[in-house]
Every structure is written in structure tokens, then in C-alpha cells.
Amino acid sequence: MIEPRVRELIQAELDDALDAAGRAELAGRLLADPAVRAERESMRRLVAHLEAIPAAEPPAQLSQAVSAALQQEHGRRDRISAPAQGWRYAAAIAAVGLAGTLAYAIIHAGRPAVAELAGTLVKSHPGAAANTVQLLSGPVAGRVILTREGERLALRLDLDTQDPVDVEIVSGSHRLRLDGIARGAVARGSTEPVPLVGFAADGPDVSLTFLRNGQVVSRVTLDRPAQR
């Protein structure tokens, strides 16, 4: 039978919380009693196994989703506190977007940048509805999947692009930007859905603008999945 005091000393030693006096006391107990030595060895092995559990890497889009939500919240507060500035900002973005689109259309006249297969329904998981757009060619290829579970919308991007692209997501007055989406971020087969916080489930369509080095390279629009 191991005394509670000895168990306490063993635990403190394993947790690097034993002072010099405690070490001396434990050393004496270890020398005197083989049962104490067996107990210490058993606990040491347990702790070694616990310490050996490998840490998992967080999903690539965790920090991006947090940043996007913060940016969205920041934008919302700005609109509340300074509506005129917000309108000027929105107008500036719209003008830049329009200019980029026109420039791209002129440069790539006659060449379809994106072939869309809109309206394809895929099942993400039970209870969730999804709408997928396939990007078959152009600067950005892959799939964009908009999922809906109840009133929550989320977006998944399976992109095939050699260089990172930024994605601006807009629906009505809601806007979200994801920076630096690249093939490497989705190659692991774990394309984490990005929650579209604040986007109304039954609101306007969701438009995505893909940008590379600040230039618009592609656009796509998704209908919202109907509630099941």
C-alpha cells in the first residue's frame, strides 16, 4: 500500500513541481521500499505515453476564418459608425472590381475563362444541402461548394491553381475575403468549410471574385441551396 504522501511526491516529481526537500524525501522512500519504486515506474510510463501523443495540426483555414470573421465584424462596425465612409469604400471596391473585370475581359476576349456547371447538388453530410460550381478551365480551376445546414452557410473551395489567389465573397451587403488560397491548402483532401458568418441563408446569391496580385482573374455566382 502506497501512502498518500508518497503518491503526492511521485506526482509532483513527474510534473516537475518537486522542490529539493521533496526530492530528498522521495529518494529515501524509493530506497527503502520496492513497492514505491514500482509505483513510480508505473506512473512514469503512463506519463511518458501521455506526453508522446502527437499534436495535430490545426486546419489550414482556422486562422483565416477567424481573420475573415474579424474583418467582417470590423466592416459592420464601420458601416454603423460611419455609413458615408462605408458607401465610399463600397463604391471604390465596386469601381476597382468593374475595372478589373473590364480589363480582364478585354485581354481575354473570346476565350472563356470559366466554364460553370451550376446547380449540381452534392451531399456534404447528412442534413446539409449543397450547391456546387465547377470551374473547368481558366486561371483558376476546381470546385466551389456552398453548403447550408439550417440557417448556417459555409463555403468550401477545392481549387487547382499554381499561384495563391485571394477570394472576395459577396452577398448583398455582406462581404468576406479569404487571402492566399492555394492548391497546397486543399491538397490534403481536408478542405475545411469556411463559415459565412452573418450571411443570410435565404438572402441574395453568393458571388465570388478570384484575384491574383490584386487583379480579378475569375468570377462565379452560386445560388443558395434550398433548405431540406
Partner 1 sequence: MREDDDRPLVARWRAGDRAAFEQLVLRHQKPVYNVALRMLRNQEEARDVAQTAFLKAFEHAADFDPNYRFFSWIYRIAINEALHALDRRKPTGPIDADTVDEAPGPERLVEGENVRRALESAVAALSPEHRAVIVLRHVAQLSYEDMASVLGVPEKTVKSRLYSARQLLRADLETRGALES
Q: Three-class SS of residue 7?
A: helix
Contacts (Cβ under 8 Å, ≥6 apart) of 205: 171, 221, 222, 223, 224
How many chain residues bind partner 1 (CB under 8 A)? 32
CB of 114 to partner 1, least distance (A): 30
Per CB under 8 A, the list member of 21, 34, 57, 107 interacting with partner 1 is: 57
Separation CA 141–CA 162 (nearest Å)? 10
Q: Applying CB under 8 A, does 15 fall inside the site for partner 1? A: yes
Looking only at residues 175 through 194 of this chain, which bind partner 1 when binding is defined by CB under 8 A? 192
Binding segment (CB under 8 A) for partner 1, from list 58-66, 79-87, 111-119, 217-225: 58-66
Phi/psi of residue 172, each to 5°?
60, -125
Cell triple for residue 217? Answer: 482573374
Are 114 and 218 a contacting pair, CB within 8 Å? yes
Looking only at residues 17 through 36 of this chain, which bind partner 1 when binding is defined by CB under 8 A? 17
E strand map for 50-151 = 129-135, 141-149
Q: Applying CB under 8 A, does 62 fall inside the site for partner 1? A: yes
Q: Applying CB under 8 A, does 63 fall inside the site for partner 1? A: yes
Q: Applying CB under 8 A, does 45 fall inside the site for partner 1? A: yes
Phi/psi of residue 208, each to 5°?
-120, 135
Q: Applying CB under 8 A, does 56 fall inside the site for partner 1? A: yes
Separation CA 91–CA 105 (nearest Å)? 21
Q: Applying CB under 8 A, does 55 fall inside the site for partner 1? A: yes
- Which residues of the shown chain bind partner 1 in the complex (CB under 8 A)? 7-8, 11, 15, 17, 42-43, 45-47, 49-53, 55-59, 62-63, 65-67, 69-71, 73-74, 192, 195
